[in-house]
Amino acid sequence: MLTRIEHRGPDDTGEIRRGNVWLGHQRLSIMDVEGGHQPLTDAGATTYLVANGEIYNHRHIREDLGHALFETGSDSEAALHALIVDGPAGLARLRGMFALAFTTQDGDFLAARDPLGVKPLYWVRRDDVTLFASELRAFDVEDRPLVETFPPGHCWSPAGGLVRFADTVPAHVRPARRAEEPGVWERSLVKSVREAIVTAVENRMMSDVGVGVFLSGGLDSAIVAAVAAEYAAEHRQPLPTFAVGSPGSADLAAARRVAEYLDAKHHNIEHHEVVMSRQDAVDALPRAVRAIEHYDPSLVRSAVPNLLLAEYAVRHVHAVLTGEGADELFAGYAYYHREPFTDPDALQAELVRTVGELHHLNLQRCDRASMAFGLEAREPFLDRDVIELALSIPPEHKMIGPGIEEKKLLREAFEGWLPDEILHRGKEQFGDGSGAKEVLEEAVRSSPDVAAAEGVELRNREEAGFYAIWRQELDGIRPDRTLGLFATT
């Protein structure tokens, strides 16, 4: 199982067996490259932990628990000691993206996944054994019909079973009040949005091996790049940015404009472009479907350029920031502004729903396409504080109208940070702006018709083609148990 996900952590391999518990880990070395080998253990070698992801508040946890407990600079060690000190309640201390497994010398065991499901986790429950892994491909063929998605915000132990420790969207988060006039808000709200996003980006800049930005040229990734560039300049660091698109594509041109603007301002941008030919996209298609372990057309279209970008970017950095999540929080997609979501309550409910489904969709694509090459993607807009603030904003403030463009509040929060033509650039899907959509639709027109295969409902010929590739790679997997089909609108 560990060998099948070696690509997720090509830097190191570690494993231990204690009693009837076995832990294995493929490491991508980002924090404490020399000392962060996993499984991590305490000074007495009585507890062990493997973790995938990042604990962004690990320094605060060190302060709270006492630096004397810690033996490495690894952020994952904060999770180890939080669980030692507080047991499962220690999960509430963790701010970040993670899937982890923890065991003691006596055979106690706990597995857990972050509240949003940014980091993947799957499991198989048999009478004689319970298995966990970060990707579907890790499981043996005979176990694949039993594979399920491990739910975000939950932990599991043999003694306590499956327990929710955090909601994806906390129950207390509700819009503060009805907006009296759409598109008009207090300056304090603009300031709060900007400060929350700036803090989230800065927290995700932690690394001992450098961080870059995936820069699509759209508003969301441009905001992330602008904040990251300022942080990097303050710390006298370069900021690599990476863009992908077909020759002459809108995304490449817009990303180049952002990079030039930020470099003129901070003198620290190292911009890279991956020019994707039609043949590049066609050749990458089966690799992309296999990598993301999904066949949804919108995900596959964006996964192809994403995969090519990750393959290039990993030569320069081990981690990148992305703009994922902003559209779900600030109503960036066109369908949010059509019936029935022109009603504020319906819009709010749909935003909450789509944030909760991200782990099945864009987050799965984002994680797999990058980790296929041992590159970690980080999503500042999906910071817990940003989510809570964004979903507490009256939904009327996210609705469009005469003179009110989508995500107006977000655009206003970052006036002066970006060129005006980028700040007010309209929404374009990544797979469309990069030039991949038409190429990939054409590439699968001659695929075998498997629309009735195994009773799986497929929506069009394009999806049938992607499904044929997916099924060839992941024979035995039940998509209804692992993909949350179908959550897109």
- Which CATH number do you get for residue 382? 3.40.50.620
Structural domains of the chain, count: 2
Q: Is residue 396 part of a domain?
A: yes
For residues 253 and 155, state if they share a domain.
Answer: no
The beta-strand segments (E) located in 114-185 are 122-125, 130-133, 148-149, 154-157, 161-164
Query: Is 355 assigned to a binding site?
Result: no
Confidence of residue 447 (pLDDT cuts 50, 70, 90): low
| H helix or E strand, kind and range, residue 15 | strand 12-18
| Each residue's pLDDT tens digit, 365-414 | 999 999 999 999 999 999 999 999 999 999 999 999 888 899 999 999 99
Range of the domain at 138: 3-164
What is the structure's pLDDT at 185? 86
Q: Is residue 171 part of a domain?
A: no
What is the structure's pLDDT at 140? 96
pLDDT at residue 453 greater than cutoff 80: no
Nearest to 213 by CA among 305, 308, 313: 313
For residues 144 and 196, state if they share a domain.
Answer: no
For residues 229 and 322, state if they share a domain.
Answer: yes
Cα separation, 389 vs 169, in Å, equals 11
Q: Is residue 488 part of a domain?
A: no
Q: Is residue 335 part of a domain?
A: yes
The beta-strand segments (E) located in 121-216 are 122-125, 130-133, 148-149, 154-157, 161-164, 211-214
- Which CATH number do you get for residue 71? 3.60.20.10
Cβ–Cβ < 8 Å for 380, 224 = yes
For residues 230 and 335, state if they share a domain.
Answer: yes
For residues 399 and 464, state if they share a domain.
Answer: yes
Of 130, 164, 198, the one marking the end of a domain is 164
Mean pLDDT, residues 38-42: 93
For residues 431 and 318, state if they share a domain.
Answer: yes
Q: Is residue 179 part of a domain?
A: no
For residues 215 and 146, state if they share a domain.
Answer: no
For residues 63 and 145, state if they share a domain.
Answer: yes
| Each residue's pLDDT tens digit, 61-111 | 999 999 989 988 899 999 999 999 999 999 999 999 999 999 999 889 999
pLDDT at residue 54 greater than cutoff 90: yes
Question: 278-292 vs 297-313: helix axis angle to the nearest 10?
Answer: 100
Q: Is residue 308 part of a domain?
A: yes
Beta bridge partners of 18: 21
Beta bridge partners of 152: none
Q: Is residue 176 part of a domain?
A: no
Q: How far is CA 394 from CA 355, 397, 487, in A?
A: 16, 6, 24
For residues 200 and 159, state if they share a domain.
Answer: no
Report which DSSP code applies to 370: H
Length reported for the chain:
489
| Each residue's pLDDT tens digit, 196-215 | 999 999 999 988 778 999 99
Query: CB atoms < 10 A from the CB of 93, how many?
Result: 20
Query: Is 300 assigned to a binding site?
Result: no
Of 164, 195, 227, the one marking the end of a domain is 164
| H helix or E strand, kind and range, residue 182 | none
Of 164, 195, 228, the one marking the end of a domain is 164
Beta-carbon contacts of 279 under 8 Å, excluding residues fewer than 6 positions away, are none
Cα separation, 94 vs 105, in Å, equals 23
For residues 313 and 273, state if they share a domain.
Answer: yes
What is the structure's pLDDT at 52? 95
Q: Is residue 182 part of a domain?
A: no
For residues 147 and 196, state if they share a domain.
Answer: no
110 SS3 class: strand
Question: 436-443 vs 297-313: helix axis angle to the nearest 10?
Answer: 120
Mean pLDDT of the chain: 90
For residues 237 and 348, state if they share a domain.
Answer: yes
Nearest 5°: phi and psi at 261? -65, -45
pLDDT at residue 157 greater than cutoff 70: yes
What is the structure's pLDDT at 488? 44
